[in-house]
Amino acid sequence: MPQHNLYIQNTLSRQKEKFEPLHPPHVGLYVCGPTVYGEAHLGHARPYVTFDVLYRYLSHLGYKVRYVRNITDVGHLENDGDEGEDKIAKKARLEQLEPMEVVELYTESFHESMRLLNNHHPGIEPRASGHIPEQIEMIQRIIDNGFAYVSNGSVYFDVSTYAQNNDYGKLSGRVIEELIAGAGNERRELEGQEEKRNPADFALWKKADERHIMRWSSPWSIGFPGWHIECSAMSRKYLGETFDIHGGGMDLVFPHHESEIAQSKGSCGHAPVKYWMHNNMITINGRKMGKSLGNFITLKEFFEGSNALLEQAYSPMTIRFFILQAHYRSTLDFSNEALKAAEKAYKRIYNGLRSLRSLEHPGEASSPDDQLKERVLSAINQCYEGLNDDLNTAVTIAALFELLKIINSLKGGQIAWEKLEPEVFESLRNTYALMVETILGLREERGKTAQFSEVLMDTILEAYRSAKERKDYSQVDAIRARLKSEGIVVKDAKTGISWDYEE
Ligand SMILES: [Zn+2]
């Protein structure tokens, strides 16, 4: 049984709770995936990087994590409501494509961006359109239990009946009376609302009109599922009626996740999820970044620098580091300055890892320094404490910078090897590499334009050294300048010649 001290903030209780899975060592993790009607943007990267780190940390602790992240390829309507055009069908109409061509195109592009960000692929990635029978079955059970009704071929969840004996609004903190009384005021005029008994009711199944080209047979009409029922049906299929963690962006708490709870309770009588986790939003000048707001920058544009808001290109690891530098529940504001700082910090962290790999402890410490040992052990401890405190990667990264100072002092000779015991150095080395690569999921990005190998770099530095020996300074300068243009600096120290990523 994994031993750990991990606490996570549960949106449902609004408290940090000790993580105790339902069926250890197994953990069920469900994260709402993208609606694939356009390129993934920075706002998408945050939940997927956050829950990738959670997946990595839980796996490191010894849990067997089943990670499910869906693809929404039908049923997500404009404005996230029950009316309007399907987002994918609309894109298909505008681009004169089949809806499934739109889905393939943007699913593949999403996967490519996730790979570049070094996110693990989920264990299961179900598509909503591939799980229509499961959704129909779940809707039927909700109707049979008296929590949904059929109206003109569509099926709606009956919020006021459900709320008589259930806590509708608990997750989002919304007040049910206000939802029922007030939600309709501005919506009432919208088409289709007259089908509902109450404006707070939400669609489980929609009868397809002539605009909806994605349609399936059901007991109620030829139509398509509501957006919320998709996640309920797919998470139940792969993780069971109750599972451990459900993640997503804060903007999904209401109505999406609130509705998921109601659908599960309405169909099988109990809550679907033990821990609800929500990441905060990425903002641009204080406003949420989103497709519907038109102020988003796609991940591809970041990687290429091809957006007027960007002063340069930012690599996938810079984006990953930028996201991890903040706690996932804090807001994160986009700016070129913040991204440049993240780029520099990422390179410093990685140079530290390269240094560590080249450093060799001579084998014994003749005058061990207890204070130094304490400093190292406390920073190592802080790496874990950060993660255990609701996945606070900002704290972990601060601890890595503390370890980095020690690494650089060992490398530069300011700290003598005889002061640090070999086993303490070994812990430092192991923890640093584990945190940077295995848990935070950072990886080395070499050069701006091309991949190059260590052997090649050794050869270049050899040429540099011999140019210096024969006092051919124009050659020395030329090599330095050429490497600098690739983001590499030659370190010419008394102890030897080496290279680093330019910070
Ligand atoms: Zn979802």
167: CA distance to ligand 1 center in Å? Answer: 20
172: CA distance to ligand 1 center in Å? Answer: 15
253: CA distance to ligand 1 center in Å? Answer: 10
Burial of 337 per CB tally in 10 Å (0-12, 13-18, 19+): exposed
Distances in Å between the alpha carbon of 59 and those of 54, 55, 433?
8, 6, 16
164: CA distance to ligand 1 center in Å? Answer: 25
Q: Is the pLDDT of residue 349 over 90?
A: yes
Q: Whose CA is closest to 57, among 23, 6, 98?
A: 6
The Cα 397–Cα 392 span in angstroms is 9
354: CA distance to ligand 1 center in Å? Answer: 40
206: CA distance to ligand 1 center in Å? Answer: 18
251 domain-assigned: yes
SS (H, E, C) 86-110: EHHHHHHHHHCCCHHHHHHHHHHHH
Burial of 356 per CB tally in 10 Å (0-12, 13-18, 19+): buried
Same domain membership, residue 263 and residue 399: no
Tell me which residue has tokens 């709320």.
163
312: CA distance to ligand 1 center in Å? Answer: 34
42: CA distance to ligand 1 center in Å? Answer: 19
350: CA distance to ligand 1 center in Å? Answer: 35
256: CA distance to ligand 1 center in Å? Answer: 7
Same domain membership, residue 462 and residue 405: no
The Cα 342–Cα 321 span in angstroms is 6
228: CA distance to ligand 1 center in Å? Answer: 6
Cis peptide leading into 255, omega within 30 of 0?
yes
Question: Residue 305 region, left (φ>0) first, then alpha (ψ -120 to 50), else beta?
Answer: left
72: CA distance to ligand 1 center in Å? Answer: 8
**How does pLDDT run across 250-306, given as a tens digit for each residue?**
999 999 999 999 999 999 999 999 999 999 999 987 787 777 677 889 999 999 999
266: CA distance to ligand 1 center in Å? Answer: 17
Same domain membership, residue 462 and residue 338: no
**How does pLDDT run across 53-85, given as a tens digit for each residue?**
999 999 999 999 999 999 999 878 876 777 778
DSSP symbols for 105-127: HHHHHHHHHHHHTTPPPPSB--B
Which residues have a Cβ under 8 Å from the Cβ of 454 and sit 6 or more positions away? none
336: CA distance to ligand 1 center in Å? Answer: 31
Same domain membership, residue 464 and residue 375: no
pTM above 0.75, yes or no: yes
63 domain-assigned: yes
Q: At 134, list the tokens.
A: 């499961």
33: CA distance to ligand 1 center in Å? Answer: 7
Same domain membership, residue 496 and residue 411: no
Same domain membership, residue 339 and residue 266: no
5 domain-assigned: no
**How does pLDDT run across 307-322, given as a tens digit for each residue?**
999 999 999 999 999 9
Burial of 47 per CB tally in 10 Å (0-12, 13-18, 19+): buried
For 435-452, what is the mean pLDDT? 80
Query: Tell me, what CATH number does 213's domain have?
Result: 3.40.50.620
498: CA distance to ligand 1 center in Å? Answer: 49
Based on its alpha-carbon atoms, the radius of gyration of the chain, rounded to whole angstroms, reads: 27
Same domain membership, residue 254 and residue 346: no
Same domain membership, residue 357 and residue 238: no
65: CA distance to ligand 1 center in Å? Answer: 19
Domain count, the chain: 3
Query: Tell me, what CATH number does 392's domain have?
Result: 1.10.730
Range of the domain at 473: 454-501
**How does pLDDT run across 463-483, given as a tens digit for each residue?**
999 999 999 999 999 999 999
491: CA distance to ligand 1 center in Å? Answer: 50
293 domain-assigned: no
